Structure 1
Amino acid sequence: MNTEHRTGDPGQEDVPRLSPAAERLYVRSLSSGGLPNPAVGGGPVGLSAACLSPDELAASEQLLRLGLLAADAAEPARLVPVDPQLAAASVRRRVRLQSARIEEHGSRLVGELTRLSHLYDQASEEGPQAAPVQDLVGLDMITSAIDEAMRDCTEEALTAQPGNGRRADALARALGKAEDLLARGAHLRTLYQHPARFSEPIRDYVTKVSSLGAEVRTLDELPKRLMIFDRRTAFVSAAQDSRRAVLVRHPALVAYLTDTFERDWRRASPYDVRYRGGSAGRGLNEVQQTILRMLVDGEPDDAIARRMSLNVRTCRAHIAKILKAYDAQSRVQMAYQLGRSEALSGDGLRGGVPSGAPSGAA
């Protein structure tokens, strides 16, 4: 049988994946000696495209595009299997061509965007300034904008990071950027919530940046993620969607956000990397003292958990420890004990970190 194969120039098409269905169909073609060619009408005796299911037709198309099947030159209605080594060589060539096209397209697109950037800068100088408030959608856009602002920062960066922890990879990236910022002589101040005091990855991060001159404090609540660079540019997270943020350049709005940060900073307590918690009144740590204050204010468990960036189960575990600390069987009994001990009269339930917690600089 003549197995000369007709091959076109596949360099202009994407290379498909080899699906399990396509692999099974290839094995079947090896055992049967071939498959019907859907592109050619009729077919040899006992071999018709009608005997292929829709899934098998799709699989045969994959095999054709991968070069694992080809039309028999002597019998075009039959598709015959091709040596996978020959197909692999063809795929390598197509991948190289595809990579070259992508690189060429990327270079051309970057050049076009750079040209538009020059026009944008020129229009900003001659006409209206850049938008004072701009929506950023997508993690790539947000990260790129923040990275650019951080690279341009020469004086001070202020950041507020709500939540009870950050991923190790995110902290590693943040550390590298913080080191670059501090090496340029800029100052860095960061706010976390109290639960961050009990996160080992954050503790390691704080230890490193503090040794370079950064300052870190914690507070009971932080409403949104906030970053301010040189008091000229700010980034605010949008609601609960981490894929959306707002870039703020309006001087009055940036000043307001800066004042908000400074107010929180004054209320916050320095992050002491030596402190492991549990030295406040009745052995309660900062998280539990903050939860106690919210309980006194009548907050329900789910609201407390949300504000503290905890899950409800963890929040209730803290509440159980609070009840035990006050030797109370119920929250009503705890409230009575609080009244008797005049616990609400001290700073423990009204400040950022309860009285008795260390106040050394991080």
Structure 2
Amino acid sequence: MTGPVRRGRAAAPASRTAAPPTACAEQLYDEAHQGERLPVTEHPHQAAARAALTAALAACDKELLTVRPTPGEPVHPLTAILAGNLPPLSPKAAQRVITQDGGRIAQFAPSGVKMRTLDETLEPVVICDRRTAFIGIADGQGGTLEIRQGRVVQHLVRAFLRDWGRARPYASAPTATDIQRTILKAIVNGQTDETIARRLGLSRRSVAEHVRKISDRLGSSRAQLGYLAAKTHLI
């Protein structure tokens, strides 16, 4: 009698040169973990980091914690990504942001976002639902780490909450009314004040006054409003 036989592919002809044991071990490990996501992934290029962050934000539906430095020189790619156009977050997700004083990001805060400031240099951090985190690598190469290791993410959450506790509310951050947001969206779509007024049932002078107030708060001209509104996630 023979023992049980494990069915598999036919054995390949014997080779004169056997594969090193380490190569066999690596192949077995890769096959066993195929399709798994590692707890830490390094994204050396901005495009890959943006794609990973976009996917994480799309799945974020409870809480988003963000540390957003003031863009300066040099700008870390993660900071640049946060200042760019990102997908809208679920309305169910609570948002808290820590930024530096005078930061452009804090200059026009979307409603519902709690924001505080710290008078010190900050490094970019994003934490989605306390499950996934993104941090900038301070190695001069500009890489981004995507972290899904539970204990590391919880450590970053505790660090964020500690900084949140000693930061001060951004009381001077202006807010936009619903009508101003609607006007800004129309401006982004290339509509004139006259068209916006007719669509909203307002006078042209009222629309122009709303535009002037928003421009004064952002410190920009009408031509830049659409760009700044999209950049700061106002709309």
TM-score normalized with structure 2 length: 0.52
Q: Does 2:56 match 1:149?
A: yes
| Aligned residue among 46, 69, 89 for 1:181 | 89
Inter-partner Cα distance in structure 1 for 2:97 and 2:106: 12
Inter-partner Cα distance in structure 1 for 2:139 and 2:163: 21
Inter-partner Cα distance in structure 1 for 2:165 and 2:44: 32
Structure 1 residues 168, 256: closer, same or farther in 2, change over 3 A? closer
C-alpha distance after superposition, 1:260-294 (max 9, x if no partner): 0010011111112358xxxxxxxxxxxxxxxxxxx
Q: Does 2:70 match 1:158?
A: no
C-alpha distance after superposition, 1:158-214 (max 9, x if no partner): 11012356999964614xx3xx2143x111111101232xx4x6412x1xx1x2x11
- Secondary structure of 2:172's partner? coil
Amino acid in structure 2 at the alignment position of 1:214: V
Inter-partner Cα distance in structure 2 for 1:137 and 1:188: 27
C-alpha distance after superposition, 1:318-339 (max 9, x if no partner): xxxxxxxxxxxxxxxxxxxxxx
Residue in structure 2 matched with residue 247 of structure 1 by the alignment: 146
Inter-partner Cα distance in structure 1 for 2:173 and 2:125: 27
Inter-partner Cα distance in structure 1 for 2:166 and 2:127: 19
Trace 1:89-108 onto structure 2 (pairs within 5 A): none
Inter-partner Cα distance in structure 1 for 2:47 and 2:96: 25
| Aligned residue among 156, 161, 168 for 1:262 | 161
Inter-partner Cα distance in structure 2 for 1:164 and 1:216: 17
| Aligned residue among 236, 242, 257 for 2:135 | 236
Q: Is the 8 A contact 1:233 1:249 kept in 2?
A: yes
Trace 1:106-121 onto structure 2 (pairs within 5 A): none
Q: Is the 8 A contact 2:44 2:143 kept in 1?
A: yes
- Secondary structure of 2:37's partner? coil
Q: Which has the higher helix share?
A: 1
Structure 1 residues 130, 172: closer, same or farther in 2, change over 3 A? closer
Residue in structure 2 matched with residue 137 of structure 1 by the alignment: 44
| Aligned residue among 71, 85, 97 for 1:190 | 97
Structure 1 residue 229 displacement after superposition:
0.4
Amino acid in structure 1 at the alignment position of 2:163: D
Inter-partner Cα distance in structure 2 for 1:130 and 1:222: 32
Structure 1 residues 181, 221: closer, same or farther in 2, change over 3 A? same
Trace 1:25-36 onto structure 2 (pairs within 5 A): none
Structure 1 residue 256 displacement after superposition:
0.3
Structure 1 residues 131, 169: closer, same or farther in 2, change over 3 A? closer
- Secondary structure of 1:195's partner? coil
Structure 1 residues 153, 218: closer, same or farther in 2, change over 3 A? same
Structure 1 residue 243 displacement after superposition:
3.7
Structure 1 residues 192, 248: closer, same or farther in 2, change over 3 A? same
- Secondary structure of 1:173's partner? coil
- Secondary structure of 1:154's partner? coil
Amino acid in structure 2 at the alignment position of 1:258: V
RMSD of equivalent CA atoms:
3.1
Structure 1 residue 133 displacement after superposition:
1.3
Higher RCO (CA-CA < 8 Å; seq separation 6+): 2
| Structure 1: gaps (5+ residues) | 1-118, 276-362
**Greater radius of gyration (CA):** 1
Amino acid in structure 1 at the alignment position of 2:168: S
Inter-partner Cα distance in structure 2 for 1:233 and 1:241: 23
| Structure 2: gaps (5+ residues) | 1-29, 175-235
- Secondary structure of 2:171's partner? coil
Identical counterparts, % of pairs: 29
Structure 1 residues 143, 267: closer, same or farther in 2, change over 3 A? same
Inter-partner Cα distance in structure 2 for 1:153 and 1:163: 24
